[in-house]
């Protein structure tokens, strides 16, 4: 059986013969690049949901600057978009973490183990990562994750502007009573008020995922470069032999 590369469009006639070995390498490269594209797509979805969560917090501050006399019901309703975006974010993070091992295993032999080592390192070293992993399980199986909402405002010194801050927090005592998150993690949250600030916890969690993704990208550079170099070389040979095909 013979193999060849060709442009796929009506009227294309150029055929560049390739060996069986080259054909297998092309298949490996195309398959691997598609897998990594899915891996990158899941990471992008995580960032999209994180931005949506942060924007929801900013939207509350903006509303408060012009609608300062909200009713109790209207104020409680402010938590709804935060909860919605938090649920979306945590679901996409889980999809990224679960899918990451599968994707990377298809690309490099030790990809799954490398990814697992990265996530374990973040879990061991970052409280926000540990807490948010527990909160994801809580939100999925128990209750909503946004418990407290506080809006504070103060004039800038010369009264030329008003500073409005929205604080979103979890109720640690409530989480303890529900028994869905490890007690050791909640003890850490009790010890420092900052450890119940959901905006800080979420940003810290996403930062950990960004570090994981950056490290995996760097580990994949040699493999990706070799694939892209091979594909570029074959494309150059095809263009040299059939200069009119790509016009």
For the residues of 86-132, what is the DSSP string, one character each? HHHHHHHHHHHHHHHHHHHHHHSTTHHHHHHHHHHHHHHH-HHHHHH
Contacts of 11 (CB under 8 A, 6+ apart): none
Chain-wide mean pLDDT for the chain? 90
Handedness of CA 128, 132, 134, 138 (dihedral sign): positive
pLDDT of res. 37? 95
CB 166 within 8 A of CB 156: no
pLDDT of res. 246? 63
Map residue 235 onto helix, strand or coil: helix
Task: Reply yes or no on whether the pLDDT at 119 is more than 90.
Answer: yes
Task: State both tokens at 56.
Answer: 């929801």
Per residue in 3-42, pLDDT (tens digit) is 887 887 776 778 888 888 888 999 999 999 999 999 999 9
Task: Reply yes or no on whether the pLDDT at 2 is more than 90.
Answer: no
For the chain, give the percent of residues with pLDDT over 70.
98
Task: Reply yes or no on whether the pLDDT at 131 is more than 70.
Answer: yes
pLDDT of res. 66? 76
Determine the average pLDDT of the residues in 51-63.
Answer: 91
pLDDT of res. 156? 81
pLDDT of res. 84? 96
Task: State both tokens at 73.
Answer: 């019901």
Range from 19-33, 59-73, 104-118, 181-195 carrying the lowest mean pLDDT: 59-73
pLDDT of res. 145? 94
For the chain, give the percent of residues with pLDDT over 90.
60
**Count of positions (residues) in the chain:** 247
pLDDT of res. 65? 76
pLDDT of res. 247? 55
Map residue 164 onto helix, strand or coil: strand
pLDDT of res. 93? 97
Per residue in 224-242, pLDDT (tens digit) is 999 999 989 988 888 888 8
- Confidence band, pLDDT 50/70/90 cuts, at residue 114: very high
pLDDT of res. 163? 79
């Amino acid at each position: 059986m013979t193999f060849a590369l060709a442009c796929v469009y009506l009227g294309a006639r150029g055929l560049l013969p390739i060996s069986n070995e080259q054909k297998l390498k092309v298949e490996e490269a195309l398959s691997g690049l598609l897998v990594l594209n899915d891996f990158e797509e899941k990471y992008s979805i995580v960032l999209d949901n994180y931005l949506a969560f942060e924007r929801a917090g900013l939207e509350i501050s903006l509303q408060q600057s012009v609608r300062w006399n909200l009713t109790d019901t209207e104020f409680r309703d402010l938590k709804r978009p935060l909860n919605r975006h938090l649920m979306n974010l945590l679901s996409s993070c889980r999809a990224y973490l679960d899918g990451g091992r599968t994707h990377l295993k298809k690309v490099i032999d030790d990809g799954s183990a490398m990814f697992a080592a990265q996530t374990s390192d973040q879990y061991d070293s970052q409280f926000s990562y540990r807490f948010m992993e527990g909160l994801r399980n809580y939100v999925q199986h128990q209750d909503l994750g946004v418990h407290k909402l506080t809006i504070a405002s103060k004039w800038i010194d010369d009264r030329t502007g008003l500073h409005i801050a929205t604080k979103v927090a979890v109720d640690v005592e409530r989480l303890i009573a529900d028994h869905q998150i490890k007690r050791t993690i909640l003890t850490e949250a009790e010890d420092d008020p900052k450890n119940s600030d959901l905006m800080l916890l979420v940003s810290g969690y996403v930062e950990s995922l960004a570090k994981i993704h950056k490290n995996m990208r760097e580990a994949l550079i040699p493999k990706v470069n070799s694939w892209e170099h091979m594909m570029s070389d074959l494309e150059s040979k095809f263009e040299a032999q059939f200069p009119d095909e790509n016009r």
